[in-house]
Amino acid sequence: MNIVVNLNKNPSITSHDAVTAVKKTYKVKKAGHAGTLDPAATGVLLVCLNEATKITGFLSDLDKEYIVTAKLGECTDTYDSEGVVIKKTERFTVTRSEIETAILKFTGDIEQIPPMHSAIKVSGRPLYELARKGIEIERKPRRISIKAIEVLNFESPFLTLKVSCSKGTYIRSLCNDLGNELGVGAYITELVRTRIGDFTIDNSAGIDDLPHKAPALYSIDTALRHLPEIKVEWDNLKRAKNGNPIRIGQKCGRQASAEELKESLQASGLPGFSSAFIRLKDPEGKLFGIGKKGKDSVKIERLFNL
């Protein structure tokens, strides 16, 4: 059972607990997730089973989409409804036009300071452990990319947004920062992750729907469909399966000369020819690994026991 499960996580459970539930459902030895969701949040959580645990990093790097509802006029210490209100603005007025102007500041490549209540580790300890003891430390800003923010609904004090963003984006911090920009404060009341890459909430399944909801189950090959592929000929297959690089100067795959491989990678839309990852398949089209294109060779990054 080497699959990726597109799980619609329930509220009030941790991502770890969700993974454990899926692991028990399928009675597998290994399981992991590709991108944490806060306990109160719901939506897409990719759970990788057995050999699929080797691709969590390739999935967590994908862009994400969220629908978030925030309450304006108050701030909490956790930036969400689980926290304690630490600031309140009475009798404020904010218009939709002001909100749409303010969100422009948070669109594009920006720097964001992660919240104290997060799993980021400092000296080996998650920040949330320090936060629970009332300790706040300085956090370095992180470079993230907000592809788009759309106002879906605004009935003061509640604001609903759709956010498309890069990995590493904290939606709680985004809403807190937006509230500060508006001068009234804000915190999250509801958060749903609707997409990771091409994995959408429409094709997800709840815990109770597993294990038989087929649209929510993906092979490793299908889960990596965003990566280009090459077929490695029999002459190089044994070398590749032993973890040895495939020389581009040799015939490394059907129609896969250096120039043809470059064209394939560029056509995939992946940034940077020299750093692109590739699905490696045998001449019959069976996935056996992931490679990384170097200057004159393909380095083996992952091998699958399928």
Provide the pLDDT confidence category of residue 282 given band limits of 50, 70 and 90.
very high
Q: Which two tokens stand for residue 134?
A: 């009332």
Predicted structure pTM score: 0.87
Active site residue 17: no
- SS3 state at 7: strand
- Decide if 294 contacts 274 (C-beta within 8 A): yes
Task: Convert the pLDDT of each residue in 155-176 to its tens digit.
Answer: 999 999 999 999 999 999 999 9
Region 273-285: what's the mean pLDDT?
A: 80
pLDDT at 272 over 60: no
Task: Convert the pLDDT of each residue in 172-211 to its tens digit.
Answer: 999 999 999 999 999 999 999 999 999 999 999 999 998 7
pLDDT value for 117: 78
Task: Convert the pLDDT of each residue in 60-97 to its tens digit.
Answer: 999 999 999 999 999 999 999 999 999 999 999 999 99
pLDDT at 249 over 50: no
- Strand 186-196 and strand 42-49: the pairing is parallel
pLDDT value for 182: 97
Sorted by sequence, the CB contacts under 8 Å of residue 117 that are 6+ apart come out as 77, 78, 79, 83, 127, 128, 131, 172
Integer CA distances (angstroms), 32 to 22, 23, 46, 63, 224, in order: 10, 9, 8, 19, 16
| Higher per-residue confidence, 201 vs 297 | 201
- In CATH terms, the fold of domain 64-194 is Pseudouridine synthase (3.30.2350)
- Decide if 177 contacts 188 (C-beta within 8 A): no
Cα separation, 71 vs 160, whole angstroms: 9
Task: Convert the pLDDT of each residue in 102-124 to its tens digit.
Answer: 999 999 999 998 887 777 787 77
Provide the pLDDT confidence category of residue 263 given band limits of 50, 70 and 90.
low
Q: What is the CATH number of domain 3-62+198-223?
A: 3.30.2350.10
pLDDT at 284 over 60: yes
* Annotated catalytic residue within 17, 38, 208, 209: 38
Domain ranges of the chain: 3-62+198-223, 64-194, 229-303
The CATH class, in words, for 229-303 is mainly beta
Provide the pLDDT confidence category of residue 251 given band limits of 50, 70 and 90.
very low
Cα separation, 177 vs 158, whole angstroms: 16
Query: Fold identical between 3-62+198-223 and 64-194?
Result: yes
pLDDT value for 160: 98
Task: Convert the pLDDT of each residue in 26-54 to its tens digit.
Answer: 999 999 999 999 999 999 999 999 999 99
